[in-house]
Amino acid sequence: MTAMIVVTVMLIGMMCVLAYTLAIYALPFTLALAATRFAYGTGAGWLGAGIVGLVAGAASFGILAFLFGTLRAPFPRIALALIFAAPAAVAGYALVHGVTGEAVPSSVWRQLFCLAGGALVGAAAVMRLATSAGSQG
């Protein structure tokens, strides 16, 4: 019984890490998903659509990191960071809202937790973008 509890806690932790990682990369993931759906809809098949999606997701993150690393003016950098972080913040908000849906009875506290979660995931997305841009240049 104890081993099953430990395995369950480990799996929940792994799912949280996966959800957090997907929330940080919300924009490239969304672009990859859109490219995959387009490729599959035009007859690329499962394998071709998957390859197109992987390439589109990696390319979109690479382009964003490259632009963030090469731009020196503060306003375009802030705009680029907001473009990257806004979907991540929304995904972080939705993630915390889903997790706390039944656990937090007060709607005020649930909203505060969701806003904090969205802000933290958005900040983590900007830090990930800045770290990737710094390692390229």
Residue recorded with tokens 């394998």: 47
Tell me: the pLDDT tens digits for 66-80? 888 888 888 888 888
Question: Residues 57, 32: contact at Cβ < 8 Å?
Answer: yes
Residue 59 pLDDT > 90: yes
Give the model's pLDDT for residue 137: 54
What residues have CB less than 8 Å from 76, skipping those under 6 apart? Answer: none
Phi, psi at residue 22, to the nearest 5°?
Answer: -65, -35
* pTM, full prediction: 0.73
Q: Where are the domains of the chain?
A: 19-136
Reduce the DSSP state of residue 107 to 3 states and report it: helix
Give the pLDDT confidence of 73-109 residue by residue, as tens digits.
888 888 888 888 888 888 888 888 888 888 888 889 8
> 19-23, 27-31, 131-135: which range is least confident on average?
131-135
Hey, how many other C-beta atoms are within 10 angstroms of the C-beta on 16?
A: 12
